[in-house]
Amino acid sequence: MTNGEATAPRTLWDRSRQLASREILEAALRLFGEQGYEATTVAQIAHEAGVSQRTLFRYFGTKEDLLGGDPDRFVRALTAAIDELPADAGPWEALRTGIAAALELHESRHQALQRFRVLYATPSLRAGWLEKQLRFHERALPLIASRLHGSPGDADLMARAMIATAFACLDVAAKAWVDRNGKGEILDLYDRCVSAART
């Protein structure tokens, strides 16, 4: 819930930048919720936010980015959380900690639910989301591989398998959370998914 960066905007530019960004995001989320993702055109969002289409694309490179936000923030939170763990923490514990940290980035429970709802209601969006997760996989790879103690030749493959499994479970858990209208905790569902996968 608490997002880490409270960067005080010094210049007027930064301030209006932030303002525009926020207004675009709000308009987008509202329209997506009202009429669905596909039925909402970028032109419409830009008009509602009071900016030109070109400017919208300067802030958010693609229409998908209007939902996902900045992926780098997630990567940073995830890797930072894992880095702080003691060296003897196992790979599964590390993954769980990183995912928990990434989930904390949502501004509010309500906004998280709103986002996930649109996400799981639109197949193409979900695909884009999965693609973004692949970048997390790459970044997490060295952090997880170093916590394995088996044969070093298989370390890369094993680490990849574990990471992929963890994020697959996260996906299932988030979807289940949406299906239950945000009742309960995603992390609890995640734990149950992982334990089921490792049975």
Partner DNA sequence: CGCAGGTTGGCAGTGACTGTCAGGATGACG
Partner DNA sequence: CGTCATCCTGACAGTCACTGCCAACCTGCG
Per-residue string for binding with its own copies, 97-126, x by CB under 8 A? --------------------------xx-x
Nearer CB in complex with DNA: 57/92: 57
Nearer CB in complex with DNA: 3/52: 52
The label of the residue with tokens 């170093």 reads: 146
Nearer CB in complex with its own copies: 48/65: 65
Q: Cα–chain-centroid distance for residue 168?
A: 13
Of 158, 161, 132, 134, the C-alpha closest to 146 is: 158
- Under the binding rule (CB under 8 A), the answer on residue 73 touching its own copies is no
Rounded Cα distance, 150 and 152, in Å: 6
**Binding residue for its own copies, selected from 140, 169, 174, 178, defined by CB under 8 A:** 169
- Under the binding rule (CB under 8 A), the answer on residue 154 touching its own copies is yes
Rounded Cα distance, 137 and 162, in Å: 10
Nearer CB in complex with its own copies: 39/127: 127
Residues that bind its own copies (rule: CB under 8 A) add up to a total of: 31
In 3-state terms, what secondary structure has residue 111?
A: helix
Of 112, 128, 131, 95, the C-alpha closest to 177 is: 112
Of 106, 91, 66, the C-alpha closest to 198 is: 91
In 3-state terms, what secondary structure has residue 149?
A: coil
Nearer CB in complex with DNA: 124/146: 124
**Binding residue for its own copies, selected from 1, 19, 80, 130, defined by CB under 8 A:** 130
In 3-state terms, what secondary structure has residue 61?
A: coil
Which residues are at the interface with its own copies (CB under 8 A)?
A: 123-124, 126-128, 130-131, 134, 154, 157-158, 160-162, 164-165, 167-169, 171-172, 175-176, 189, 192-194, 196-199
